[in-house]
Amino acid sequence: DKLETVSLRDTGFIGEFTTVETEGDYQVVKNSITGKGYVIAHSDIVVNCDDPMVECDGLHHILSSCHKSSVV
């Protein structure tokens, strides 16, 4: 079985199911993926640690690894 995905920029991926195998107690699907893609966007995640709904205690090590100057 094959599944082809084509983007609006005419790039695509083809995923091909090859087999089912057993790994320990689980059945796993083996497949192959071919194609190419491009990064066409940039995203920023904004976290307001002053917001009482945000638990920043567990996020400081993640946030500080990206932008040391913007984490307070």
Q: What are the residue ranges spanned by the domains of the chain?
A: 1-41, 43-72
pTM of the prediction?
Answer: 0.41
- Strands of 7-67, DSSP E: 12-23, 26-35
Average pLDDT for residues 58-63, to the nearest whole number? 75
Between CA 43 and CA 13 the distance in angstroms is: 23
pLDDT band at 28 (very low <50, low <70, confident <90, very high): very high
Average pLDDT for residues 39-43, to the nearest whole number? 79
What sign does the dihedral 46-48-51-54 (CA atoms) show?
positive
DSSP type of residue 22? E
Q: Which tokens go with 53?
A: 């709904």
Q: What is the pLDDT of residue 56?
A: 82
Q: What is the pLDDT of residue 19?
A: 94
Average pLDDT for residues 39-45, to the nearest whole number? 79
